[in-house]
Amino acid sequence: GIPWEVRRYKTITMKLSSLQRDILVGTILGDAFLQKTGERNARLRLEQGAKQKSYLLWKVEQLSQLFQGKAKYLKRVHPLTRKTYEYWRHQSQSMPELGVLRRIFYPSGRKTIPENLEVFLRSPRVLAVWYMDDGYYYQRDRVSYLYLGNVTRHEAEVASSALRKKYDLTSRVLAKKKGFALYFPPAEARKLAVLIRGYILDEFSYKLPS
């Protein structure tokens, strides 16, 4: 049968448009944080650097029924480097639907790439949002990276396998200082760009081959 989390995911996201569903899943895989609130609920926390306020506001606007109030401008001093980090934050309302997504993507309290990731990569738009959050194009070598953060090597392999099965994209898992990244050589970086270009906001066009 269909795993419970997939059944629940499909049920709760019926209330969302396909665009909203794709943005929500893409940003959960990327920069967003699902914070537990009570036994069954969670809230979505969005944070973007000061220069990317418009991107945060775009997400909030697209997912407008999840949010109330206004984004907050914050400053944080790094304890080691003493550098000041300026950023914008907006948190959604707490709701059981986000609680279900938290149990899928944070089963043990930390962000995890689920074994059945390809189920959630419903459209290239999910991948586009994930890439706008955590992707990078290295112009000199014409290669792309998708940073996965502090996941296990197995989870990184799951992500690589899901992209290969779902979109015929071949990537290599690279170990980074914190966790892992997927590396796309030039031909695969071009394939990735063709797949997601139509969904990439103009401000992130620098993350694609020209």
Q: What is the pLDDT of residues 106-120, one digit of tens each?
A: 998 999 999 999 989
b or e along 112-146 (b: 16 or more beta carbons within 10 Å of the residue's beta carbon)?
Answer: ebbeebbbbbbbbbbbbbbbbbbbebeeeeebbbb
Q: Report the relative pairing of strands 84-91 and 72-77 from DSSP bridges.
A: antiparallel
* Sheet strands side by side (includes 143-149): 135-138, 143-149, 180-184, 172-175
Structure tokens at 109: 């309290």
Beta bridge partners of 182: 146, 173
Return the closest-CA partner of residue 193 out of 204, 208, 183, 171. Answer: 208
Q: Is the pLDDT of residue 200 over 60?
A: yes
pLDDT band, very low/low/confident/very high, at 130 (cuts 50, 70, 90): very high
Q: State the pLDDT at residue 178.
A: 85
b or e along 81-92 (b: 16 or more beta carbons within 10 Å of the residue's beta carbon)?
Answer: eeeeeebbebbb
Q: State the pLDDT at residue 94.
A: 92
The CA distances from residue 159 to 66, 96, 153, 163, 180, in Å, are 27, 26, 10, 6, 11
**What percentage of residues in the chain have a pLDDT greater than 70?**
93
H-helix or E-strand spanning residue 91: strand 84-91
pTM attached to this predicted model: 0.91
Query: What is the per-residue pLDDT across 85-111, written as a single tens digit (0 to 9) for each?
Result: 899 999 999 988 888 899 999 998 999
Beta bridge partners of 183: 145, 172
Torsion angle defined by CA atoms of residues 9, 10, 16 and 20, in that order, rounded to the nearest 10 degrees:
70
Question: What gap in Å lies between CA 122 and CA 131, rounded to an integer?
Answer: 15
Q: State the pLDDT at residue 77.
A: 87
Question: What gap in Å lies between CA 49 and CA 30, rounded to an integer?
Answer: 14
The sign of the CA dihedral 195, 155, 185, 131 is positive
Q: State the pLDDT at residue 10.
A: 66
Query: What is the per-residue pLDDT across 1-36, written as a single tens digit (0 to 9) for each?
Result: 556 666 666 666 667 888 998 999 999 999 999 999
The CA distances from residue 192 to 65, 130, 142, 163, in Å, are 31, 12, 12, 10
